[in-house]
Structure 1
């Protein structure tokens, strides 16, 4: 057998050598010259930067009980271009997320055809449901960690706390007012994913997430539940259109309870309506009626023109002024200032005020905060309406003296009663817990408020209009109000606002409460009949819960 020519063998060796040099050259190129590019390309396919969610600040009551918290949830999303558009895959996925297969397929097709890379599948689902969806191992389906706002107390504190939208942005109430304080700052992290987009491991935190700050309200959740229960029962019992109640710390202006009816559940957005969402206590305006009379008496005493023993002739129970008639329930004859409050005499308080300088009544009403916001900072809080002092007519002064012709919120009314309870000093109304009360404003002399409180006590004793506000074991100072509602054709003869404002214990005031029932139906509609009993139940329990000692122990019932 003849051996192969040597030149062929050399040719093979040369070919192999060239191939080896090409391979070595390529390796050198990849490792020395293209390594950075290749590393970048690999990172692009496997490394991702993902948002690092942070939770919104918690809202609590004054004792740390949660009113609003953020719970971890999972959001499901799709990369439409990566998702297999087979009918079986769409059907399986749609069944888990409770969507129509046809609608889901149509949505995915539209996003994919438009070249879009992100489509929400379902926001804020439970981790269990997310696990079920990801177990399908469908390409293009991903998860994102988020937080969902939850309100443990439901509708009990809904009007004050408010709520957020799905992105945890404040929409109403304190959630809106303090959104900047509660808002979280998301961070970011670097993660390693496989080619199917599944996270393999977390590599590094690029920017740490910063949670929102905690907000501590002045509310006492124990008292809030109590007020909510009693107001709701009263609105249902008297078939009222709505109702509101505010309970204040008389020494600091802190709101310990604030409730409205109807209410709403912020955890169930499908059942919300604007009518139920309104915080009536701070937004709705009312003519206060006779609950204003203690201030008119205090102004008369402060002027130095009157003393508690002075008598005002109210006969014959009516008076004509500028073509209008002012009436009492009956002819009470001559009444002391205490008698004017006890019998709630419109004629008596009008004749008293008309003897004072023209501008004095409105000036003091302005100092009491009527016609201006309380300072609570609640979004949408109303300022009310107070007539100016310039050339105010006699009939206007008369009607103002018994609570007609001005508009106030329940919050303004409670704040003003604080001045009577606190030795003439009125603090700004606050919805936040205060370690030290804000600087107050001296409106009346302490001697004047002490005299007015003594007169208001008689209104809750036999013979007064507020006897159903009396609390066994405690001295109570208060005033009833029953106001004709204003309609399109003037005051409605059969439609009323029933109110009661009170202070306890009268010997050393600690709490102020104001109750309003709008349009109670049936035989009972006076403030002393429908609002005073609510005050008695709420204030009586609140005094005991706060361990405030009785100041009239001889009145305690066995």
Structure 2
């Protein structure tokens, strides 16, 4: 029989017990105090999945508050591969609802992950079908999807945003910093085994929506413009068409149309060539519309007057070993008739009377060769070479609208300066930025760029341009009851294969303003590669008339009773 433990053994056992308690106590302190923060974070990682979802994007409305772009809350679907019993069966069930192939869904659901996106920003009906299915390991969260309620209307100006809500084209891109909302952090809860994720108990942190844009665009005028331009391009079997309508006194765009159009709600199947804003990006040789600018420079510099006689050389003149032709054999005509009859020879002589330096100075003053700085992305500066790069025929060619590249927005802005008593305005399309409560955060006011010609010169040129419509090449732009000022243009395109002017490819255009005595609308129509009769007076001028007639009636401008806009820029 064992005797009682010796005192030494008892102390040894006691020491061992105390040491064990000390180890356990140290471990507890370490876990609960020293490593508390790290272990808490680890536990959160095991039981939570954080997903970043963008906040609501700001709306875009026209000048009267009609919604052109908005956000819709739509479902996005995720899966939990680690919680699925049969990824193959789940994929087969989801495929017809998500409209994603079974193979692609199964590949995602077989990943060794606790979370995977299966489809983003679905239609509401798809979400309702998924809710009825109630599948384990499959959940939904709501995200904002950009929606354009008017479809193709104003698409080239609005642009579109991507799947992650970032603006990719147009105003969506240019004003991305204002439109986008702050990112929302959505926390998805897992169970203790990490096998399931449920959308229950979601938390959102700081879902701040983006700001809204108020445009200068008028939805009604935009609709009229797109309708008439589309019909003109179809009739002419043209490659494309562009039309801009703006207020010449302020530079505010009322409409900007490109044909063919596209639907920003469905851009996946179309490429950049379709959504490119040709009014800003595509430079073209303006042809005879440039004669309006040359006329303004010549009258301002007093090298020509409306009654100055110019000899038309009977339709044929040699310059620098090349021949310039007119479509009509003219003898002695007045300078006003040179513009009205669109004489190339008369324009060439006018340019030579100005000289290269003065001609170049006025091209710059009217804004050619430089961006207008309109608040839209992708604008090109056009092409205006310095006189030191000009050839012996360049002055004559530029005066006829050759050897120079302009964009539609440049040309209409330049002619609008004539309509605006010689003052060039900066074109713009956004008038206000507002917060979610409708408060105005920023207001864009008309901006004067510079005075280009004197008021008297502008009025003289206006009278000459009225003659283009009443007695010259622009007769089909006439609007009954209104005085119309404008200029036709027909330019041959360069054949990229030969590097010479094409005999079959043309750009027909018309640019002008109405009412001539107190302009409300400045407009340009550009038809690219019309088939058959390609004259600007035939394919473009009628579009100007149809849009102008309807827009003036909509604005309540009575014939012979033009009304000045209240919002007019101060003039220097």
Q: TM-score range, shorter-chain basis?
A: 0.7 to 0.9
Structure 1: unaligned runs, 5 residues or longer: 1-28, 554-558
| Mapping 1:165-176, distance limit 5 Å | 165-176=162-173
Shift of 1:190: 6.4
CA contact (8 A) 1:156 1:225 kept: yes
Q: Quick check: 1:156 aligned with 2:164?
A: no
Tell me the number of residue pairs that the alignment of Structure 1 and Structure 2 aligns: 516
Equivalent in 238, 241, 244 of residue 239 of structure 2: 241
Residue equivalent to 1:271:
269
Secondary structure of residue in 2 paired with 1:497 = strand
Query: Structure 1 residues 121, 390: closer, same or farther in 2, change over 3 A?
Result: same
Relative to structure 1, is the Cα distance of residues 549 and 105 closer, same or farther in structure 2, using a 3 angstrom cutoff? Answer: same
Give the distance between the partners of 1:47 and 1:256, measured in 2 at CA: 51
Structure 1: distance between partners of 2:279 and 2:41: 61
1:54 match: 55
Unaligned runs of 5+ in 2: 1-24, 432-442, 563-572
Contact map agreement 1:265 1:272 (CA 8 A) in 2: no
SS in 2 for 1:269: coil
C-alpha distance in 2 between matches for 1:212 and 1:63: 20
Equivalent position to 2:181, from 175, 179, 184: 184
State the match for 1:484 in structure 2. 492
Aligned CA distance change for structure 1 residues 53 and 344 (closer, same or farther; 3 Å): closer
- Once the two structures are superposed, the pairs formed by residues 460-539 of structure 1 within 5 Å of their partners are 460-461=469-470, 463-488=471-496, 489=498, 490-522=500-532, 524-539=533-548
Helix, strand or coil: the match of 1:503?
strand
Question: Which structure 2 residues correspond to residues 384-533 of structure 1 after superposition, within 5 A?
Answer: 384-390=382-388, 392-433=390-431, 436-461=445-470, 463-488=471-496, 489=498, 490-522=500-532, 524-533=533-542
1:322 CA drift (Å): 0.6
Q: Distance in 2 between matches of 1:484 and 1:225?
A: 30
TM-superposed CA distance for 1:307, in Å, is 2.1
SS of 1:271's equivalent in the other structure is coil
Counterpart contact for 2:54–2:165, Cα < 8 Å: no
Checking the alignment, whether the CA contact within 8 Å between 1:169 and 1:179 is kept in structure 2 is yes
What secondary structure sits across from 2:356 in the alignment?
coil
Q: Which residue of 2 aligns with 1:139?
A: 136
Q: Compared with structure 1, are the counterparts of its residues 148 and 391 closer, same or farther at alpha carbon in structure 2 (3 Å cutoff)?
A: closer
- Contact 2:55 2:180 (8 Å CA) reproduced: no
> What is the RMSD of the two structures over their aligned residues, measured on CA atoms?
2.6
- Say which is worse superposed, 385-394 or 466-475, in terms of deviation: 385-394
Q: 1:101 Cα shift?
A: 3.7
Query: Could you tell me whether the CA contact under 8 Å between 2:188 and 2:198 is conserved in 1?
Result: no
**1:159, 1:485 → 2: CA distance?**
24
- Contact residue 52 and residue 208 of structure 1 kept, 8 A: no
Q: Please, what TM-score do these two structures have when normalized by structure 1?
A: 0.86
Match of 1:314 among 312, 315, 318: 312
Aligned equivalents of 1:406 and 1:215: distance in 2?
35
> 1:408 & 1:41 partners in 2: Cα distance?
62
Give 1:118 deviation, angstroms. Answer: 2.1
> Could you say if the C-alpha distance between residues 273 and 238 of structure 1 is closer, same or farther in structure 2, counting changes exceeding 3 Å?
same
Q: Give yes or no for contact 1:466–1:532 (8 Å, CA) kept in 2.
A: yes
Q: Does 1:324 align with 2:334?
A: no
**CA separation in 2, counterparts of 1:382 and 1:44?**
50
Q: 1:269 to 1:305 in 2, by over 3 A?
A: closer
For structure 1, which segment, 142-151 or 348-357, has the greater mean C-alpha deviation from structure 2 after superposition? 348-357
Q: 1:198 — aligned with what?
A: 198
Checking the alignment, whether the CA contact within 8 Å between 1:416 and 1:426 is kept in structure 2 is yes
**For the structure 1 residues 91 and 240, does the alpha-carbon distance in structure 2 shift closer, same or farther, using more than 3 Å as the test?**
closer
Distance 1:40 1:56, change over 3 A: closer
- Tell whether the 8 Å contact from 1:71 to 1:147 is kept in structure 2 after alignment: yes
SS in 1 for 2:208: coil
Deviations 1:405-444 (A, max 9, x none): 1000111101101111000000112122276311231000
Map 1:64-79 → 2, pairs under 5 A: 64-79=65-80
What displacement does 1:305 show? 2.8
CA contact (8 A) 1:354 1:394 kept: no
Residues of 2 paired with 1:526 and 1:127: CA distance? 50
Counterpart of 1:260 in structure 2 is: 258
For the structure 1 residues 191 and 425, does the alpha-carbon distance in structure 2 shift closer, same or farther, using more than 3 Å as the test? same
Deviation of residue 328 (structure 1)? 1.3
Task: Tell whether the 8 Å contact from 1:51 to 1:186 is kept in structure 2 after alignment.
Answer: yes
**TM-score of the pair, normalised by structure 2:** 0.84
Question: Do the aligned residues in 2 keep the contact of 1:255 with 1:429 (CA within 8 Å)?
Answer: yes
Distance (whole Å) between structure 2 residues aligned to residue 40 and residue 281 of structure 1: 54
Are the structure 2 counterparts of residues 101 and 293 from structure 1 closer, same or farther at C-alpha, using a change threshold of 3 Å? closer
CA–CA distance in structure 2, aligned partners of residues 251 and 384 of structure 1 = 24
1:434-462 residue CA offsets vs partner (Å, 9 max, x unmatched): 7631123100000001000001111111x
Q: Any idea what SS the aligned residue of 2:290 has? A: helix
